[in-house]
Amino acid sequence: MTHPPVVMVNESFAAAFWPDGQAIGQRLRTVDGGSPGTWRTVVGIAPNIMQGDALRQTFKPVIYVPFRQQPGARAFVFVRASTPAPQTTQAVLATVQRLDPDVITEQFASLDEGLGFDRDWMDLEHADLGKHAAIAPVFAVVALILAALGLVAVIAHSVSQRTKEIGIRMAVGAATGDIARMVMREGMRPVAIGLAAGLLAAAATNRFLESQLVGVSPYDPLTLAGGPLVLIAVALIGCRIPAKRATQVDPVVALRHD
């Protein structure tokens, strides 16, 4: 029995061509090989996915034609395996031949081989995206260095403003360890507040950024823990220098400080 030609469209396609919400049952004509093709009936609406947009910013209108209604169509199959590539290839070939001996298999490649960054064949949008992704860590490191330098400068300025107070504390018996802990504590307090606010903001906004992420969860524990740990380490190093200088203050000189 020959089934009538049908097609599914995504939500963006339905909203663009049938904004009244009556997409089911409508007919459209697909293009086969550059010439007018077959009239097909819309039988379903699929949720939007990021397809055909390398920068993952918009949901483009997409149609889905049944595989069995496309003579000569090609299909791409992804296999996750823990075995070496040659063994996986042999197993897939044997399975395909067992299911349908008429299916022709053309090419096998790992994701690293098939989707590696190669500007010679990569389209312009993907090339620009890869370039920006490669530059992003550089800017992140620069921002981290600037943040560390700024933190050291702010804490050093704060300590210099409290030179007389530190001298009084040391004159009345405060140990150098107490002074160092005081400077470290007051230097790390804004860092802790900033990290807490940043994590709360990330938790609130990550669900809106989920569609822009590839290969990583918006709530990836390694990312959420790694970033704060790096910032804490940088902040500790940044606080250590002013704290050490504070412990070397001469109480007599500090009491004369204006």
| DSSP characters over 33-69 | TTEEEEEEEEEEEEPP---S-TT-------EE--GGG
Cβ–Cβ < 8 Å for 59, 72: no
**Residue 137 sits in the same domain as residue 240:** yes
Residue 43 reports pLDDT greater than 90: yes
Average pLDDT on 29-39 reads: 70
Domain boundary among the residues 56, 85, 116 is at: 116
Domain range for residue 101? 75-116
Could you tell me the pLDDT band of residue 1, with boundaries at 50, 70 and 90?
A: very low
Maximum average pLDDT range among 69-78, 98-107, 236-245: 98-107
Cβ–Cβ < 8 Å for 187, 239: yes
**Residue 205 sits in the same domain as residue 245:** yes
**Residue 155 sits in the same domain as residue 190:** yes
**Residue 146 sits in the same domain as residue 204:** yes
Cβ–Cβ < 8 Å for 251, 171: yes
79 closest CA partner among 66, 93, 68, 67: 93
**Residue 242 sits in the same domain as residue 170:** yes
pLDDT, residue 216, reads 63
Could you tell me the pLDDT band of residue 36, with boundaries at 50, 70 and 90?
A: low
**Residue 187 sits in the same domain as residue 234:** yes
**Residue 66 sits in the same domain as residue 137:** no
Question: What is the rounded CA–CA span in Å between residue 140 and residue 146?
Answer: 10
Helix ranges, 79-161 (H): 85-99, 111-114, 124-161
The domain total for the chain is 3
pLDDT, residue 210, reads 66
Cβ–Cβ < 8 Å for 195, 231: yes
**Residue 242 sits in the same domain as residue 131:** yes
Could you tell me the pLDDT band of residue 113, with boundaries at 50, 70 and 90?
A: low
Residue 55 reports pLDDT greater than 90: no
Residue 140 reports pLDDT greater than 80: no
pTM: 0.45
Question: What is the rounded CA–CA span in Å between residue 43 and residue 7?
Answer: 6
